[in-house]
Structure 1
Amino acid sequence: MEQEKEKEKEKDAAQKQPPAEEPLGWLAKFDRRFTLVKGLSVVTVLSSLFVGSFQYLGSYQDKVSAQAKENMQAAAKTFDDISTKFSQVQALQQQLFSDYATALDDRADASEQALAVKSAQEILKVYEDAQLALFETGELMARNAQMYIDWATNFRRDPTEQSAPTSDPLDQTLLRAYDFDCDHNLPQFMPANGSTAAAPRVSAENACTIDAKHNWDPAYSYVDICPKNREKAGSNESVTIHWYSAKHQVLVMHYCLRNLHERLAPVRHWASRPEAKAAASEASPPVDRDNIQLAIDLQAKRLNAFMNLATFDMDGIRESYRPDSFACRVPIVTSVVGFFNDSCTPIKTTPIIVTRR
């Protein structure tokens, strides 16, 4: 009996001893302890996370491609709309003024003068309709340039930033109140000496900037205008015009084109009269032909500057949404790259933000 009891005690002691650990036994033990209620093991969870990461990256890239296509189409449409309307009016202005100059040119023969008068009379109605359509939509075109060109190329905007409607004061009313000088303020994109060095412009003393925090315009790519008549302007502060802003360029083009239209009033009056040739000599004294031709040439330069900026920004859209490398498709690696640059994530994602109301 005692021997049997001893055997039973040894058997019980052997059962109580922990079994010898097998290789990678810790992983099996870890897996058993973290088994989920529905039977999902930690290995299954990790696999699901990796699969989900790949699916997210694929979905993200699809959305980036769709956003790139949408942004490029909107920017191209805005560019085409603005450029076409301004170039049409400016071409008609040039032709109308050229006809006027030919009709008054004593060196031109009678047939040339007659053709110039006929051309001016035919162009006048087309010009008046085109300039009226342009002036009616000038502010809207400036806003479209802001939305579809300026904002579309603001790739570094942080979605977590609390933003408010822009406080940019520049508009047609301000340019008129400040008596903006169209003959001396032309768009520039680099220093006048030809250097490509860029000087950060974080703020300007006594100047209203669009957003001083993100204002990095290169030197000479802006101009601070001051009111010539402070009582008329109702302000003593200067306002900054940024030539890297498509909105600002459109506003200035619109204002200067309107200004030029008013200076062409004697020419328009001459072309509206059937006896234009006979009245040409009467209409010529108030018209400074050299200065008007200079103003027309400067307006052409403004349009060219806008087109250069718009195509430059559209190329920026194309470059920022270009196909990414294989590293941008690998979980974890993509996140690590994102700490250093935005080559894998050109569009910032919006984080989960809980707001209380």
Structure 2
Amino acid sequence: MPNDDTHKPPSEADDTAPKSAPQRWFWTTVKGLSLFTVLSGLFTVLSSLAVGYFQYLNAYQEKVSSQAKEDMTLAAATFTDISHPFSEVHALQQTLYADFARAVGEKSEASNKTLTTRNALAISERYEKARIELRENIDLLTRKAEIYIDWASDTYRDPAEKRNVDGDPLSRRVLRDYAFDCSDKFNFPAFGNVHAPNGSMRPKEVADDKYCAIAEKRGVDEMTKPEDAFIRICAGPNDKAAKRINWYSAKHHVLTMHYCLEAAHNKLAAARQWAAGSDREAARESDLQGEKEINAQLDDLAGRLNAFNSLALYRMEQIRVKYRPAGLWCKVPFVWNLRSLNCFPIRTASLTR
């Protein structure tokens, strides 16, 4: 008779195998936990993460607000530092020439006792001093316009992006070497038209290195988009490539304004000599009398200054846009990076070379 024990299934090894002490502790702890305890722990972790995130977000927004206030303050101060001396020198230029023209018209330019001559002497001293101070500070003012107006208002400018130090080649020397013509209508500031149509209505673009060789020079008109509001100047048709002047750059406005201010200053040499009571040149005074070009040149300077003022105010508004308060969706993790939301945070990037 066969042994019945041979047909019994083997006993479960897991039931008889001894467990180690850590295993026994783990399984005992797990069995002792209730669902409420697990959910409470998970809620605590998530709450801590949420509190930490919003604390970080508030600190970040405080830094953004502080940076916005600093950028706006520096931009406004730079605008004043530039606009005031240019306005002063230009106003004194106009007054000095008006007194000269009035004295010549009244035939009293040779007398030192007339009111016009005495006023001209006082204006001459103020004008020469203001003009010298502006010339001394023009390079610093140019860089301040670039840093505190142009760069600060550029929403998408990344300071860590790779770029050449001399990426903007325009300078006072370039304007001189290229003989920038202040009276040319194409060289007057213009900002284009945001409503200009897209398409083939504009002439085909010409490369800078070929632009000077073409006969038709191009300016900015109502068919020009704001991003294309620039002009190109040439030193000659064959020897040098064209240089660009961007009318949305405060730096370029300061450079061209000063260049044209100096051109008017040199043109007024005879009137300045008369106003200062120094040795006079009758021939040059005769050339200057009743010259419409002088009045047009001074009017153009007023227009250039007004264009700079308008651009500076526009740029400061762009700083407000750059740091405008973010909406609710901009505070949601992983969502605020979407470009369609226009959250405009301060951009940060690693320094790579």
TM-score (norm 2): 0.76
C-alpha distance in structure 1 between counterparts of 2:135 and 2:109, whole Å: 37
SS in 1 for 2:183: coil
Equivalent in the alignment of 2:234: 226
Secondary structure at the aligned position of 1:223 is classed as strand
Change beyond 3 A, Cα 1:107–1:140: same
1:259 is matched with 263
Q: Distance in 2 between matches of 1:198 and 1:88?
A: 41
- Give me the whole-angstrom Cα distance separating, in 1, the residues matched to 2:109 and 2:305: 34
Mapping of residues 106-145 of structure 1, within 5 Å = 106=106, 114-145=114-145
Match of 1:303 in 2: 305
Q: Work out whether 1:322 is the aligned partner of 2:324.
A: yes
Question: Hey, what's the Cα distance between the residues in 2 that align with 1:253 and 1:159?
Answer: 28
| Number of the residue aligned with 2:169 | 169
- Provide the C-alpha distance between the structure 2 equivalents of 1:343 and 1:285, rounded to a whole number of angstroms: 62
- 2-structure distance, mates of 1:152, 1:219: 18
Which residue is equivalent to 1:247? 251
Counterparts of 1:64 and 1:76 in 2: how far apart (Å)? 18
Q: Select which of 236, 249, 252 maps to 2:240.
A: 236
Q: Contact conserved, 2:192 with 2:228, CA < 8 A, in 1?
A: yes
- Give a deviation string over 1:238-258, Cα, whole Å, max 9, x none: 100000000000000011101
Alpha-carbon separation, structure 2, partners of 1:257 and 1:109: 25
How much does 1:117 deviate?
Answer: 1.4
SS of equivalent to 1:153: coil
- Report whether the alignment pairs 1:348 with 2:352: no
The aligned runs of 1:1-357 (5 Å cut-off) are 28=38, 44-106=44-106, 114-158=114-158, 161-184=161-184, 185-191=187-193, 195-197=195-197, 205-206=207-208, 218=226, 221-228=229-236, 235-273=239-277, 283-287=284-288, 289-329=291-331, 331-332=332-333, 335-341=334-340, 343-351=342-350
CA contact (8 A) 1:124 1:272 kept: yes
Letter in 1 for 2:67: Q
Contact 2:330 2:341 in 1 (8 A): no
Structure 1 position 345, deviation (Å): 3.7
Aligned equivalents of 1:128, 1:265: Cα separation in 2:
11
Q: Does structure 2 retain, via aligned residues, the 8 Å contact 1:71–1:152?
A: yes
Change (3 A) 1:219 1:146: closer
**Is 1:175–1:255's contact at 8 Å kept on the other side of the alignment?**
yes
Classify the secondary structure of the residue corresponding to 1:244: coil
Looking at structure 1, the residues matched to 243 and 109 of structure 2 have their Cα atoms a distance apart, in angstroms, of 50
Residues 236, 283 of structure 1: alpha-carbon distance in 2 compared, 3 angstrom cutoff: closer
Distance 1:144 1:348, change over 3 A: same
The 8 Å contact of residues 188 and 220 in structure 1, kept in 2 or not, is answered as no
Q: CA deviation at 1:349?
A: 2.7
Q: CA deviation at 1:229?
A: 8.9
Q: Taking structure 1 as reference, are residues 294 and 198 closer, same or farther at Cα in structure 2, changes over 3 Å only?
A: farther
* Cα distance in 1 for residues equivalent to 2:272 and 2:131: 12
**The residue matched to 1:250 in structure 2 has which SS?**
helix
Counterpart CA distance in 2 for 1:336 and 1:344 is 10
| CA root-mean-square deviation | 3.9
Q: 1:322 is paired with a residue of what secondary structure?
A: coil
> Residue type matched to 2:288 in 1?
V
Q: Secondary structure at the match of 2:231?
A: strand
Partner deviation per Cα, 1:167-191 (whole Å, 9 max, x = no partner): 2111111101111000111100015
| Whole-Å separation in 1 of the counterparts to 2:166 and 2:340 | 27
Cα distance in 2 for partners of 1:83, 1:241 equals 20
- Cα deviation 1:301-349 (Å, max 9, x = unaligned): 00000000000010111232222223333x32xx313222463343113
Q: CA deviation at 1:282?
A: 5.2
User: Aligned partners of 2:257 and 2:172: how far apart in 1?
Assistant: 10
Counterpart-to-counterpart distance in 2, 1:109 and 1:130: 24
Structure 2 Cα separation of the partners of residues 324 and 285 of structure 1: 64
Which residue does the alignment assign to 2:219? Answer: none
Task: Decide whether aligned partners of structure 1 residues 84 and 108 sit closer, same or farther in structure 2, where only a CA change above 3 A counts.
Answer: same
CA displacement at 1:104 relative to structure 2: 1.1
**Residues 131-171 of structure 1: per-residue CA shift (max 9 Å, x gap):** 00001111111100000000001111235533331321111
Q: TM-score, normalised by structure 1?
A: 0.75
